[in-house]
Chain A
């Protein structure tokens, strides 16, 4: 057996809703930084959304950018401090809607940063509005009859947008089971190893439950991800320079 102690970066109790996947992802990220001995050197870039609740509870240096611009900010930090591990931590509304341009251009430039994108298919902090990642037919406060894809387009699959680019690492995981959580930890570790070896842009998208805004019990939220969300957003490693991948 191995000791499982709370990682050093988690300096306070988190402030997320009951059953929120951010808490699990925070812990995985903190474990990886501890195991790679990067906690003291890591610099995080955040923008706006539930992810910003981390700033008081996750003990690394943080800088907050305007809404969606975390990837652009991380680019500047990394170019000035190339020896430091630099990462963005954003939700899907922040990184794939308002900040879609910044996220995509960081990947197009193959910036040597790591992006953690948490996809719960909704704008969580502002009360559950429809996001580009919302599923067809998904009921939100701005699509009370269900998302109409004829009117609003198809769900945004960021992996499909990026997988043909010249980047270092690209993976998608979920936090619905022990097995999937352990996989996400491996993906995040691979992403930081890519950055620390100068391998270019690395991104891990993580499917995460939002029981509050989905209006589901937490256990049903995990089942919803496994049974429905993953049919639109398949899991796996999609780009892995120097290694095997799904594609």
Chain B
């Protein structure tokens, strides 16, 4: 939660883009990312995010080669 403008950074996940490279898992400072059991349309096991633990820092956005993550500001 930002004190200045009272907005919050919220992660948006696009699991259908995920190719399961797992770069994001060790990059997450909160260990909020894991691999899910299902298989997406591309044939990979996509990542899943524990939204309660996620702080919206954007580390996953930076390391992801497949544009799976976005960080949006919401009131």
Query: Could you list which residues of chain A lie within 8 angstroms of chain B, going by C-beta atoms?
Result: 1-6, 10, 13-14, 16-24, 27, 177-178, 181-182, 211, 218-219, 222
Contacts and interface: CB of A to CB of B under 8 A. Distances in A.
Count class of interface residues, chain B: 20 to 34
24 contacts: A1-B7, A1-B57, A1-B73, A3-B73, A4-B58, A4-B61, A4-B62, A4-B70, A10-B67, A14-B67, A18-B21, A19-B21, A19-B23, A19-B65, A22-B65, A24-B63, A27-B67, A177-B27, A178-B27, A178-B59, A181-B62, A181-B63, A219-B26, A222-B23
Max chain B C-beta neighbours (<10 A), residue from A17, A19, A21, A181: A19
B31 interface: no
B24 to A, nearest CB: 11
Given A1-B9, A1-B56, A19 B19 contact: yes
Contacts of A218: 21-23
B19 A2 contact: no
A156 to B, nearest CB: 25
Interface-centre pick from B23, B44, B59 (highest chain A CB count, 10 A) = B23
Nearest to B8: A1
Contact of B23 (A4, A6, A219): A219
A201 to B, nearest CB: 28
B53 interface: no
A17 B19 CA distance: 8
Nearest to A23: B65
Contacts, number: 71
Interface in B19-72: 19-23, 26-27, 44, 56-59, 61-67, 69-72
Contacts of A211: 21
A23 B61 contact: no
A10 B71 CA distance: 16
A50 B56 CA distance: 32
Contact of A219 (B22, B66, B69, B71): B22
Contacts of A19: 19, 21, 23, 65
Given A1-B56, A219-B26, A18 B44 contact: yes
Nearest to B56: A1
Given A10-B67, A24-B63, A2 B58 contact: yes
A21 B71 contact: no
Contact of A13 (B44, B58, B67): B67
A178 B21 contact: no
Contacts of B23: 19, 218-219, 222
B63 A178 contact: yes
B62 A182 contact: yes
Nearest to B9: A1
Most buried by B among A5, A182, A211: A5
